[in-house]
Chain A
Amino acid sequence: MVGRGAGGRLLVAGGALLEIFQVVGLAVVSVVVLLVIRRHRPEMAVLLALVVGLVIFFMVAQRLLAVLEFLRDLAARAGVDSLYLNIILKIVGIAYITEIGAQVCRDAQETSVAAKVELAGKLLILVLAVPIVMAIVEAVLRVL
Chain B
Amino acid sequence: MDLVFKIAFIGIVVSILSIVLKQAEREEWAQMLTLAGVVAVLMIVAEMVLELFQAVRTMFQLY
Contacts and interface: CB of A to CB of B under 8 A. Distances in A.
B7 A48 contact: yes
Interface in A44-81: 44-45, 47-48, 50-52, 54-55, 57-58, 61, 64-65, 68
Contacts, number: 87
A93 B60 contact: yes
Could you tell me the dominant secondary structure of chain A's interface residues? helix
B45 interface: yes
Interface in B1-55: 1, 3-4, 7-8, 10-12, 14-15, 18-19, 34, 37-38, 41-42, 44-45, 48-49, 51-53, 55
A57 B52 contact: yes
Interface residues of A, number: 32
A92 interface: yes
Given A50-B45, A54-B48, A57-B52, A41 B3 contact: no
Interface of A: 26, 30, 33, 36-37, 40-41, 43-45, 47-48, 50-52, 54-55, 57-58, 61, 64-65, 68, 86, 89-90, 92-94, 96-97, 100
